[in-house]
Amino acid sequence: MHYHFQFQDVFAAWPLLLQGTWITIRLSLAATVLGLGVAILGAWAKTSGPPPLRWLVNAYIELIRNTPFLVQLFFFFFGLPALGLRWSAQAAALVAMVVNLGAYATEIIRAGIESIPRGQVEAGLALNLKRHQVFRHIVLKPALKAIYPALTSQFILLMLSSAVVSAISADDLTSVAANLQSQTFRSFEIYIVVAAIYLVLALAFSVLFRLVYRLALDYPDRR
């Protein structure tokens, strides 16, 4: 069996691939920032919130972690419009990614918070710091440093999982690849290129997160 590689059609469509890559990056970064905010609030609620709030956060985590991301995506894009909430495919994709990341990252951050010795919290309160100041300066920052590798791995997994949003016709990289395949029928060449792009994105995100660690979490401690 002889197969002749023909990448001409793929490379000729580089503007579309570039646009799809940019949408994937934009979705992933926005979901990372918003999902991290949701996770921090969720972790605080689980460790310090009142019982009813802890119950709600636990229910949210169990619901998201025990259902497929694709089903969650379909719920936001196809299910909610039945209740009158209509939005674009990209908006639904972003909300689904934020909700999904928030659940997984909440448990990661919660584990980091619980690893902080209780004595440090009591020392902060003894210095007359308010509880939100203790949480921010004494608990949250050391906790983020402790769980940073696991957290960034979850961020990269989210970026790779964003390929699923093509199922609702969001114009991400995978959606562009599917459209090109239907036009050129060069499936092998297209998905080789797309896989390479995702690999580069994952490596680039790793470098970005290492830089964020040095600037935001590690550097101040070395001054």
Calpha distance 196→183 (Å, rounded): 21
Fold of 10-222: MetI-like fold (1.10.3720)
Most confident of 2-11, 165-174, 196-205: 196-205
Mean pLDDT of 108-115: 88
* Tens-digit pLDDT profile for residues 136-191: 777 878 888 889 999 999 999 999 999 999 999 888 999 999 999 888 888 888 99
| Residue 223 three-state SS | coil
Identity of the residue numbered 16: L
Calpha distance 19→168 (Å, rounded): 17
Annotated domain spans of the chain:
10-222
Say whether pLDDT at 219 is over 60. no
* Tens-digit pLDDT profile for residues 22-75: 999 999 999 999 999 999 999 989 988 889 999 999 999 999 999 999 999 999
Q: What is the mean pLDDT of the chain?
A: 88
Say whether pLDDT at 208 is over 80. yes
Calpha distance 197→210 (Å, rounded): 20
- Find where tokens 């905010």 sit: 37
